[in-house]
Amino acid sequence: MCRNIRVLHNFEPPATDGEVHEAALQYVRKISGAARPSKANEEAFARAVAEITASTRTLLDELVTTAPPKDREVEAEKKRALARERYGR
């Protein structure tokens, strides 16, 4: 899985449409092997991003959990602490 794609489920506040779109874009970039599509592939690339964005939003809206929502800032700080430990920053 692409390291730039983050977990979007069960956060407070919920994932924004922009975050869902960015995850879809990263996914399409990864599986297509292209950061930017050629002119010939531009339409297919954009369509794939739109379809994956819609599917992801549907999935996130339908997932059910009994776990309490995670706080974005707390989770981000955990990742920063892990990075400091791992990379000495």
Which tens digit of pLDDT belongs to each residue from 35-83?
A: 999 999 999 999 999 999 999 999 999 999 999 999 988 988 998 999 8
Q: How far apart are CA 27 and CA 31, in angstroms?
A: 6
Q: pLDDT tens, 8-17? A: 999 988 999 9
More confident residue, 1 or 84: 84
**What's the predicted TM-score (pTM) here?**
0.81
33: left (phi over 0), alpha (psi -120 to 50) or beta: left
Residues 82/74, Cβ–Cβ less than 8 Å: no
pLDDT at position 5 = 76
